[in-house]
Amino acid sequence: MRKAIGVDLGGTKINVLLVNEKGEIISRDKQPTESEKGRDYVIRKIKNMINKVLVEANIKINDMEGIGVGFPGIMDREKKTTLYAPNLGEEWKREVPLGEELENYFKVPVFLENDVNLVAWAEWLVGAGRGTKTMISIAIGTGIGSGIVLNGKLWIGAHGMAGEFGHTTVIPDGPICGCGNKGCIEAIASGSGIERYAKSIIPDNKDSLIWNLVNGDVDKVTVRVIYQAAEKGDKLAIDIFNRAGYYLGIALANYVHVIDPEKIVVGGGVANVRDYIGKPMRDEFYKRVLPSLRDKISFAWAELGEDAGGIGAALFVLYR
């Protein structure tokens, strides 16, 4: 059975998986990124982690069809270099020959791809999107990312930037996004967007359980705290999540009118509050999407969890 290595390189952790062609994990290693120690340290750590999963599986690197790397930023896929990833530190804001380093060391092909695209690829092949031809994957975390599988191919667009769903404008004069624009869905419905909105209204809603949970310190308001309050029936907390779901529904209706997928797969850390975001998201989506599409597009929650990026990186090697 064919096998490959998948590397999910993130700002806080690195997940390395040895995966077979069915998407099954044979061995794994997860470690903190420690990007503050420099790019050479991070690359060396990736090499050591790959060696570790090979030893644990009692498999030689020559038996691998290659190494896939999910990268949280901009890259040159042809040159196999990374270009910009601010959450990895200053050294990753310029060109880094990551693919070349790994190819020279392991002597197998290395492929770089955007980490969210690889989540979509994994969910399409072996997760919640399997069986479809065209699928959209949404990852809601600190930010909002998306990947598109179009007619069985990972769609990256003319400039490698397809799927920047997080920067879809839903409130023209809304909150400022990290990209500099106003009213992006990322600025409203991501984890950071939800927290920012909650912090802005909590001082005027001191009867909310959220205020009590943070002892009046709005800087301590997090998605987790809001969720705790919602679970105890706090109306404001529920309204905060419902608002995020409402705007997600609007943004997704716009997205679908361009891509026309069979299914929308929703994942990421904030998707854990699905009980409060999911219904308003679906309700608003189906209200706004064209009537001819309403019974043709379904929602599903992502199935692969934290391993999706690593699985997708490996499967990108095997099914490009």
Q: Which residues contact 33 (CB under 8 A, 6 or more apart)?
A: 9, 10, 11, 12, 13, 14, 42, 45, 88
Average pLDDT value for the chain: 96
pLDDT single digits (tens) 178-209: 889 999 999 999 999 999 999 999 999 999 99
Quick one: pLDDT at residue 86? Answer: 84
Q: Which residues contact 237 (CB under 8 A, 6 or more apart)?
A: 208, 209, 210, 226, 227, 229, 230
Residue 297 CB neighbours (<10 A):
20
Quick one: pLDDT at residue 320? Answer: 83
Residue with tokens 């990312």: 145
Helix intervals (H) in 58-142: 98-106, 115-126
Quick one: pLDDT at residue 270? Answer: 81
Residue 184's DSSP bridge partners are: 169
Domains of the chain in start order, with CATH, are: 3-114+307-318 (3.30.420.40), 128-302 (3.30.420.40)
Quick one: pLDDT at residue 192? Answer: 94
pLDDT single digits (tens) 264-308: 999 988 877 888 999 999 999 999 999 999 999 999 999 999 999
Residues in the chain where the model's pLDDT stays below 50: none
Quick one: pLDDT at residue 142? Answer: 86
How do strand 110-114 and strand 67-71 relate by DSSP bridges?
A: parallel
244 CB burial (10 A radius; 0-12, 13-18, 19+): buried
